[in-house]
Amino acid sequence: MLFLASCGNAPQAQPPTYTPDMVQRLESYTNNIQGMRDRLGELNDLIQEKDWIYADNFIHGPLGTLRQDMSLFNRNLLPQDQRQGRELAREISRHLEAISLAAQNSDYAAATKNYREMLTDLDAFLDLLPNATES
């Protein structure tokens, strides 16, 4: 297969690209997700204050639709981008559950560690949109 691809005669299959419609749909989900991203400082404050009940409430309240928005976003990605989107969404959910558990156990170390990791994963997730518009 490598030999055929390099000889130049075989037509190269072009991966599908995003239409303006698709990008617009993706942007509407990103707006929701970005809105939650913008409020994450509040969750960090609650963790820093060891306000465990409100920290846990924050995850299920203001961040309650994050998973749903991420999965709607992922469903609108082209197949070649979906795997990365799904992996990041799974990571983010895992960290949120870990923070929720840490809050229930008053475990400051686990809460801060998962908060930081969740932030990194969420920023990587939001980066999927510019990647989408560039292709």
Binding site for Zn ion (CB under 5 A): 91, 117, 121
Nearer to Zn ion, 52 or 115 (CB): 115
Min dist. Cβ of residue 91 to Zn ion (A):
4
* Cα–Cα distance measured from residue 31 to residue 36, given in angstroms and rounded to the nearest whole number: 9
Closest approach of Zn ion to the CB of residue 24, in Å: 29
Residue 118's closest CA among 86, 85, 92?
A: 92
Please, what sign has the CA dihedral across residues 23, 28, 33, 37?
Answer: positive
Q: How far apart, in Å, are the Cα atoms of 55 and each of 51, 90, 94?
A: 6, 20, 16
With respect to Zn ion, which residue has the nearer C-beta, 27 or 91? 91
User: Which residue has the closest beta carbon to Zn ion?
Assistant: 91
Provide, rounded to whole angstroms, the least separation between the CB of residue 90 and Zn ion: 9
| Comparison of 91 and 107: residue with beta carbon closer to Zn ion | 91
